[in-house]
Amino acid sequence: MGNEAVTQTDAPFLEVRNLSKRYGTFTALDSTDLIVESGSIHGFLGKNGAGKSTIVKIIAGSERPTSGQVLFKGVDITDWPLARRRKAGINLLPQHAEIVPELSVAENLVLPDYPTSGMLLNKKRLRTMATELLAKYDLHFDVEARAGDLSTPDQRRLTIVRTLVDDGSFAMLDEPTTALSQIERESLFTWMRSLNAKGQTFAFISHYSSEIRAICNTVTVLRDGHVVADKTDPSAMTAHQISELVVGGAVDEYVRDRRDSVETKVRVQGLRIGDTGPVDFTVGKGEVLGLVGLPGSGAQETARALGGLTVPEVTRIEINGKEVSSGSVKAATDAGIEYLTNDRHGEGIVGPFSVSESIVTGRWPSKGGLIDRKSIRDTYEAFHRRMRFRVSGPGQAIEQLSGGNQQKILLSRIMAVNPELLILDEPTLGVDVAAKEEIHRIINDLTEAGTSVIVLAYDIDEMVRVVDRVLTFQDGRIVASLTGEDISPDNILLHLNHQSSDTSTAA
């Protein structure tokens, strides 16, 4: 894991000059200039397709530019292969980077550069390397522990340490807070700040302006392949001003007109998962109910049990006054319950299907024993108009789409059956600010038609804007039900931090 020597000069730490990248007739980057200063946490913001992922891939060496230069510490590295850039200290942590859960912490840290003695793994050297590396970055894991047993935030730290080759390295982190709670994000930021104080340089890619303002000391905003703001101090700007830079104009931020539901559509009684619970609550017709809690608190576990992804110990679920079966995805679907996972790539996108096929996956229309292609096309056309997803056509592979457009396709899939209850786990995860507002309005349209909605969102500010009521969870139980003016970021965080005296279980 040694660092290849790069000439130190008075030049910028990282510089991009007149960089362009074209894919056929599509221009992803157009004559882009960029400077990252040593010792900074440099943010990258932009809509899906703005060019931020393309530029960091080119810097890392996994993509080649059509034209232009990349300089690292004054040295032109444009023609360097990815492996050489890694040795020099330039690494990209992809958005969906994961540890290998069955391997040890030590094995994950040095993967794939295991120390050997002859043809055999040198376990003693491996332990020493891993222990020294963790200590250097203020982490104190058991290097022989199974990596899959670490908490989600610690697994994220482990993947980040893998990108920190040596002093003077440049670690580019693409959406590193995915699936972390707000408190876990703050813990990660505290750790990153401590490394930054010692001189570590980061690039931080996010769709959340609140994160950019919290952790970055400078930011580059890209739009349509162009840099529209560079070396800007994000703390000197409001989140709304940053959003306007991202979209190129005024942002019409959605805020739900909260309402009290007078008609109960969904009733959950005695839901137990393992030794936790019981959980009892209702969801009104056309209501948006937010579930909030730290990982393991019971919020996500409750949502997944209702969606049929896990089997609760005991529960009674009623929809429109009638008891329905639970315990499997099919049973939930038959009852009119649809669940949108927060793991778009692991659980949501099924196989190499086209856009039109992805909308009907699991419910293929047939005619005379054959797949009804006309029906699939008609369904695609209807949702294309309604959801306004950007695709080249119905045959385009869903895996080729941006995160926001993928999410719209998955929403189309579950909306196609007109569900009674829609459970949305992080519905705007990894999508840009414009797509996020569109998704919020789609959810509102569904509630206007009478659909009940349960939402889980780690972004508390977003949660506050889109719900009618919030239930907070702790130790597998509901500890508070918040309505009206009580729904605020500070009040929700108060409950998450276990500092509230309100332990009401009324729901």
> What is the average per-residue pLDDT within 325-330?
82
Whether 242 and 309 map to the same domain: the answer is no
Whether residue 339 sits in one domain with residue 191? no
Q: Name the average pLDDT for the chain.
A: 85
Domain C-terminal end among 222, 247, 272? 247
Report if residue 139 sits inside a domain.
no
**pLDDT tier for residue 91 given thresholds of 50, 70 and 90:** very high
Of the pLDDT bands very low, low, confident and very high (cuts 50, 70, 90), residue 401 is: confident
Which of 491, 420, 425 lies closest to 455 in space, CA to CA? 425
Q: Do residues 192 and 276 both lie within one domain? A: no
Residues 296 and 418 in one domain: yes
Please state, for a pLDDT cut of 90, what percent of the chain lies above it: 33
* Residue 154 is assigned to a structural domain of this protein: yes
Same-domain check for residues 321 and 276: yes
Is 507 among the domain residues?
A: no
Indicate the pLDDT class of residue 504, thresholds 50, 70 and 90: very low
Residue position matching structure tokens 């290998």: 100
Span 440-452, pLDDT tens digits: 888 998 999 999 9
Asked if the structure places residue 141 within a domain, the reply is no
At 472 the three-state DSSP class reads: strand
Question: Looking at the domain assignment, is residue 506 inside a domain?
Answer: no
Instruction: Calculate the alpha carbon distances from 394 to 23, 51, 135, 385 in Å.
Output: 20, 24, 51, 12
Distance separating alpha carbons of residues 283 and 332, to the nearest angstrom? 16
Same domain, 224 and 273: no
Number of domains in the chain: 2
Does some domain include residue 127?
Answer: no
- 379 within domain boundaries: yes
C-beta of residue 17 within 8 angstroms of C-beta of residue 102? no
Who contacts 44 (Cβ-Cβ below 8 Å, separation ≥6)? 52, 55, 56, 203, 204, 205, 206, 219, 220, 222
Give me the CATH number covering residue 197.
3.40.50.300
Do 236 and 307 lie in one domain? The reply is: no
Same domain, 239 and 315: no
SS3 118: coil
Of the three residues 212, 247, 282, the one that is the final residue of a domain is: 247
The pLDDT tens digits of the residues spanning 290-302 come to 999 887 888 989 9
| Domain hosting residue 213, numbered range | 14-99+150-247
Least confident window among 121-130, 213-222, 345-354, 394-403: 345-354
In a shared domain, residues 222 and 286: no
- Same-domain check for residues 222 and 367: no
The verdict on 448 and 492 lying in the same domain is: yes
Mean pLDDT, range 175-192, rounded to an integer: 84
In a domain, 385, yes or no: yes
**Residues 215 and 359 placed together within one structural domain of the fold:** no
